[in-house]
Amino acid sequence: MRVALVMLMLVSAAGSPAADLRSDLSAGQDYYRQGDFKRALIHFRRALRVDDHDAELNYWMGRAYQGRGDVATPFGGGYYSKALVYLRRAVALAPERGAYRRELFDFLVYTAEGSPAGLRLAADLVSQTPESDPEYPLMRWRLELAGRMASAPAARLDRLMLGAPRTVFGVMQR
């Protein structure tokens, strides 16, 4: 009897995976709101080990990586790449969640800084959004504006200048 009671206490103290997932999600969100993206990512990663198909976890993981990228500017490219992966996964897992789609769209339009690849992904997202969606007209307008900004001569020169060091470095290594 006593052994059974001790075993029951150990099992209940360990908690269930679902409880651990929600606990880590909540802790991660708290750290995110405090701007501590590194600690937030630790908790979100731990929760994703329990369920990597949870759309909400993928959404928050993407947002945390985006936050790390913003803080690490201009060296946030790796964080932004990871943010894109998780935000796209969140939208794929829960396409009906407008907040996830909106976050991904905002990320693509603003964070990609008018890159052709980012704008293509944003255009794909707009084309998948039903015209009856209340945000559709705004998304379409912002995409057109971002496209015009990206095609401006100054934007083209910026992309050329950013690509030049990589090209020179690649030539020097040969």
Indicate whether 9 belongs to any domain. no
Residue-wise pLDDT for 41-72, tens only, equals 999 999 999 999 999 999 999 999 999 998 98
CATH number at residue 107: 1.25.40.10
How far, in Å, CA of 158 to CA of 172, rounded? 22
Residue-wise pLDDT for 92-117, tens only, equals 999 999 999 999 999 999 876 657 88
Alpha helices in the chain (DSSP H): 2-14, 17-33, 37-50, 55-71, 77-93, 98-106, 116-128, 136-150, 153-173
Segments forming the whole domain that contains residue 83? 17-162
Q: What is the dihedral of CA 45, 52, 112, 95, to 10 degrees?
A: -140
Structural domains counted in the chain: 1
Indicate whether 66 belongs to any domain. yes
- Sign of the four-CA dihedral 146, 152, 156, 157: negative
Query: What pTM was estimated for this model as a whole?
Result: 0.74
